[in-house]
Structure 1
Amino acid sequence: MRIKVILLLACCFFTARSFAQHPEEAKIKSILQVQNVAWNKGDIDAFMEPYWHSDSLMFIGKSGVTYGWQATLDNYKRSYPDADAMGKLTFTFVQFKPLDSKHYFVVGKWHLARSIGDVGGHFTLLWEKINGRWVIIADHSS
């Protein structure tokens, strides 16, 4: 009987560990939540903060590939000039996949609830840990 209890507890422990969220995944989710709040406050500059501040940042959207943090920020501000265009953003996460200790691949859905008509789609984000900070180095949103 004692062995059965020990085996049962061991199974529960290892099952719980397998479903536990990786600490780096939790950090990235937290950054995405802050990003979501910034968008819903109408603050595109704060929304862009998690993106890599580099000319090598890659953003792929309906207009094609854009390189650079500033160019990506300018595109966002042009596409979403006011609160009606921005609406309220919601993310639904599909997958967080660690590629190695410094890279994560994130897949999800985005949705904008807007008075001028809702829009949404999917995104894939490539995250890299640079100088101890997680940043988005590539974003493909459609």
Structure 2
Amino acid sequence: MRRGTAKTVQVAGLDVGWHSRIDLAENPKTHRLEVTRELMPGTYPFKFIIDDVWGASMDYPTMTDGANTNNIVTVLPRDASGQAARDRILSPNGTITAEERDDLAALLCPWASHDRALHRPRAAGAGSEDSD
């Protein structure tokens, strides 16, 4: 969200309830207004408050709660095995499994995913000619 001509931009709801407001801060790199919260998995309703006017934004998913329309954010549970793989791969001596290599190759080069041999490292001493 960008400030535009607004003097204050806040958010209510999330994990602080409707009686508390959190100021959005400008990110110096993107010049967008942001707020960061550490939320447990679940769905959280929220509304923006711009110069003391409450409202939902059409830029975010909404839900209706009686006569109120709120924005929502859904926090998914952290995948423990995925986090462990990221930590392993990104460590100073990171390693990647053959399955992870294949998945990554398919993401980076989807048009060649039918020919996985294209993405396999050549064996030491292998010639440059194909044997197919």
TM-score tier, shorter chain, comes to under 0.3
- Larger proportion of strand: 1
Whose relative contact order is higher, 1 or 2, with alpha carbons under 8 Å and at least 6 apart?
1
Greater per-residue helix proportion: 1
**TM-score, normalisation: structure 2:** 0.24
Superposition TM-score, scaled by structure 1 size: 0.23
